[in-house]
């Protein structure tokens, strides 16, 4: 029985007992003290009139004894307490139930081909944003009533149910879904996958693990794909430390045999840092076209020529492999080109361990700092303690990687590291995407959000028809026929002005047209290769596809 129903039943039973006691006692008192007997029905009528505050009938004039006056006074107080108590027990829950929003326990519409997301976590916002931007229907299965209500009132499709049960997943119509994504905890995720496969063996189950060593058990449970975002995040941070591990070119998207689209970071100590986009003469020196750039974590399409480049700026460019390689060499500092130097990894969780292992595999010197002693930990101490960081060699390091699980601690540690070593290259991970701009303001050169990487990985596992530049950004490359633009030039179509996307190439039969300008005319059968953020790509598809 629900809590509210149980409270109402107990209250009604208690109220009936008190009324019965009052009626019997009143009948006895009137006979003994007033010598004026009442029938049982008359006594019950008196008790009900008193507790409902409708009066005492004509009995008030018949009370002469002190005992009866005292009894009536006490019962008046009891009646008031019962009346006040009825408000929170009965009236308030009834009103709240009548006027509050109720989260459904099963899907109310006929949605199919949706994604079942289990359940609402600190990382699910990024995933839901991905599905929203892609126009993919989804339903969140959330057992907690408060969190389910918040999601429901924010416009998400939600089912309040336990995702570890077949009944809960059946309420989300798992049988007609395109996939299930679960990211709660390693043990709970395995339980959810087991329940999902019991209900439907055909549904594609995607689970997220915090500890990569547990991937085997998720696959034994029936998971079709197991993602380890912490490991990927660590590998991405490691790739930024030195070109000996991986260059920016490795993440480039190939268009045809010659054209590449890549994100290239400007590293601390690069000759480009401090110059404007026009003053850097990037196009003249390398031959690439700058499509957009991230400044302090915010993306700008077609940045202004007066935009200032700094350490941590990420350029989105297109060009041949040789052209992009020239830009990569130009954006690296002398230290990165001629020697990696010492790297200090602060925090030795899954992310920090992945970074340190990658650097060791590349035969690069690394110092590991953590609060807890361990075999691979070189310095034990607080990440925000300047003396401890100085002892770890931060002041003389080429690169510092902050792999701390708490965003607030990471922000403070960034301030301390930047004060100790103004010229060090500072890379960091955070949990919340909202912490990214804070980290940049604190002095970090490159920041990755675990939530964003997790959401991007999960969405990419579901959506297999799009090229994604990297899992830590929201930039896509799509190929699309645009019959409405046949016979018009790119300039006449005003693609960038209307959608923010950039047309970087046209696939025309077996030919790839890379020299695309405002005068390039679109022919029948052409496939436009465009690049833009998720929102810009959706705008392009709505306008032209």
pLDDT at 464: 64
Look at 313 and 141; give whichever has higher pLDDT: 141
Side-chain half-sphere exposure of 449, counting CA atoms within 13 A: 23
256 pLDDT above the threshold of 70: no
pLDDT at 193: 96
Look at 4 and 172; give whichever has higher pLDDT: 172
Mean pLDDT across 351-358: 92
| Strand 289-295 to 259-265 pairing | unpaired
pLDDT at 247: 40
Element (H, E) at 398: none
pLDDT at 254: 67
333 pLDDT above the threshold of 80: no
Look at 188 and 496; give whichever has higher pLDDT: 188
Q: What is the per-residue pLDDT across 468-510, written as a single tens digit (0 to 9) for each? A: 545 455 567 778 888 888 999 988 988 888 888 888 889 888 8
pLDDT at 497: 86
DSSP 222-253: T-SEEE-HHHHHHHHHHHHH-TTT--GGGGPE
pLDDT at 209: 93
Look at 232 and 249; give whichever has higher pLDDT: 232
pLDDT at 163: 95
Mean pLDDT across 307-313: 83
249 pLDDT above the threshold of 50: no
Mean pLDDT across 69-88: 79
Q: Enumerate residues 6+ apart whose C-beta is below 8 A from 367.
A: 342, 343, 344, 345, 378, 379, 392, 393, 397
Mean pLDDT across 326-333: 80
243 pLDDT above the threshold of 60: no
Asked if 319 and 259 touch (Cβ cutoff 8 Å), the reply is yes
pLDDT at 116: 95
244 pLDDT above the threshold of 90: no
Lowest mean pLDDT among 100-114, 330-344, 497-511: 330-344
pLDDT band per the 50, 70, 90 thresholds, residue 100: low
Mean pLDDT across 209-221: 93
CB neighbours of residue 40 within 10 Å: 10
User: What helix, strand, coil percent values describe the chain, rounded to 5?
Assistant: 45, 20, 35
201 pLDDT above the threshold of 80: yes
99 pLDDT above the threshold of 90: no
Chain-centroid distance, C-alpha 150: 14
60 pLDDT above the threshold of 90: no
Write phi, then psi, for 434 (nearest 5 degrees).
-65, -15
392 pLDDT above the threshold of 90: yes
Look at 214 and 445; give whichever has higher pLDDT: 214
Mean pLDDT across 277-290: 90
End-to-end CA distance of the chain: give it in Å, rounded: 54
pLDDT band per the 50, 70, 90 thresholds, residue 90: low
Asked if 513 and 468 touch (Cβ cutoff 8 Å), the reply is no
Query: CA angle 485-504-239, nearest 5°?
Result: 145
pTM, to two decimals: 0.65
pLDDT at 393: 93
pLDDT at 380: 95
Lowest mean pLDDT among 54-58, 368-372, 405-409, 437-441: 54-58
Average pLDDT, the chain: 84
Mean pLDDT across 282-301: 82
Look at 165 and 475; give whichever has higher pLDDT: 165
DSSP 145-189: HHHHHHHHHTT--EE-S-TTSHHHHHHTTGGG-SEEEE-S-HHHH
Q: What is the per-residue pLDDT across 411-456, written as a single tens digit (0 to 9) for each? A: 999 999 999 998 888 999 999 888 988 998 898 888 888 887 887 7
């Amino acid at each position: 029985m629900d809590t509210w129903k149980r409270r109402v039943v107990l209250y009604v039973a208690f109220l009936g007992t008190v009324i019965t006691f009052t009626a019997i006692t009143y009948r006895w008192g009137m006979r003994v003290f007033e010598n004026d007997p009442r029938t049982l029905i008359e006594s019950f009528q008196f008790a009900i009139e008193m507790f409902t505050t409708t009066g005492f009938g004509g009995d008030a004039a018949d009370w002469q004894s002190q005992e009866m006056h005292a009894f009536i006074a006490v019962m008046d107080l009891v009646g008031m307490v019962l009346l006040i108590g009825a408000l929170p027990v009965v009236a308030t829950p009834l009103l709240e139930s009548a006027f509050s929003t109720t989260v459904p326990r099963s899907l109310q519409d006929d949605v199919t081909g949706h994604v079942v997301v289990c359940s609402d976590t600190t990382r699910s916002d990024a995933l839901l944003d991905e599905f929203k931007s892609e126009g993919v229907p989804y339903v969140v299965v959330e057992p907690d009533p408060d969190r389910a209500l918040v999601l429901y009132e924010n416009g998400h499709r939600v089912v309040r149910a336990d995702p570890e049960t077949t009944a809960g997943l059946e309420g989300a119509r798992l049988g007609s879904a395109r996939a299930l994504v679960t990211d709660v905890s390693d043990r709970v995720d395995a339980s959810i996958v087991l329940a999902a496969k019991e209900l439907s063996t055909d549904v594609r189950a995607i689970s997220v693990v915090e500890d990569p060593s547990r991937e085997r058990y998720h696959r034994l449970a029936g998971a079709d794909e197991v993602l380890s975002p912490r490991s990927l995040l660590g590998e991405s941070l490691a790739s930024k430390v030195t070109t000996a591990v991986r260059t920016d070119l490795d993440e480039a998207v190939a268009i045809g045999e010659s054209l590449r689209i890549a994100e290239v970071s400007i590293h601390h100590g690069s000759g480009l840092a401090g110059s404007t986009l026009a003053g850097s003469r990037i196009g003249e020196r390398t031959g690439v076209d700058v499509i957009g750039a991230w400044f302090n974590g915010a993306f700008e399409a077609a940045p202004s020529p007066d935009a200032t480049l700094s350490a941590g700026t990420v350029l989105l460019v297109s060009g041949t492999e040789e052209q992009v390689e020239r830009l990569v060499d130009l954006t690296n500092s002398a230290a990165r080109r001629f020697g990696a130097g010492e790297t200090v990894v602060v925090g030795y969780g899954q992310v920090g361990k992945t970074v340190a292992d990658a650097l060791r595999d590349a035969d690069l010197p690394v110092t590991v700092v953590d609060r807890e002693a361990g075999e691979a930990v070189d310095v034990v101490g607080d990440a925000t303690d300047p003396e401890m960081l100085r002892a770890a060699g931060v002041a003389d390091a080429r690169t510092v990687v902050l792999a701390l699980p708490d965003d607030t601690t990471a922000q403070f540690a960034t301030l301390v590291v930047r004060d100790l070593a103004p010229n060090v290259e500072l890379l960091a991970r955070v949990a919340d995407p909202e912490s990214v701009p804070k980290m940049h303001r604190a002095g970090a050169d490159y920041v990755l959000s675990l939530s964003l990487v997790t959401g991007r990985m999960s969405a990419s596992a579901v959506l297999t028809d799009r090229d994604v530049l990297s899992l830590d950004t929201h930039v896509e490359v799509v190929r699309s026929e645009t019959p409405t633009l046949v016979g018009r030039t790119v300039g006449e179509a005003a693609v960038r002005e209307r959608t923010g996307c950039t047309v970087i190439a046209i696939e025309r039969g077996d030919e790839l047209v890379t020299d695309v300008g405002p005068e390039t005319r679109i022919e029948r059968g052409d496939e436009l290769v465009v690049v833009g953020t998720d929102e810009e790509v959706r705008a392009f598809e709505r306008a032209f596809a």
